[in-house]
Amino acid sequence: MQKTRQGIVVSDKAEKTITVRIDVARRHRRYQKVVRTSTTLHAHDEHNDAHVGDTVVVRESRPLSRTKRWRLVQVVERAR
């Protein structure tokens, strides 16, 4: 089963590639404080659909290049 993640596009400068920021908020085990972290990943965008600020869903795939291991599934919300 492939993982899916939802995130925000932070860069679309490369051809057929987007950089997506995944924000995670989870509670600290001991102190119960909400700790926010983010990860960035590169995703394959075949038709250059997504642009900076868009909310997108990406799915894990086979390695497509040195850094790309994800594919764009859909654009959930366009940036205003």
Report domain extents, the chain.
Answer: 4-45+55-74
User: Residue 61 contacts by C-beta under 8 Å, 6 or more apart in sequence?
Assistant: 2, 44, 69, 70, 71
Distances (CA, A) of 6 to 14, 30, 45, 51: 20, 27, 15, 15
For domain 4-45+55-74, the question of CATH label 2.40.50.140 is answered with: yes
Q: Is 74's pLDDT higher than 90?
A: yes
pLDDT tens-digit readout, 4-52: 999 999 999 999 999 999 999 999 999 999 999 999 999 999 999 999 9
Model confidence at 3, pLDDT cuts 50, 70, 90, reads very high
**In whole angstroms, what is the distance from residue 4 CA to residue 73 CA?**
9
Q: Is 71's pLDDT higher than 90?
A: yes
Model confidence at 70, pLDDT cuts 50, 70, 90, reads very high
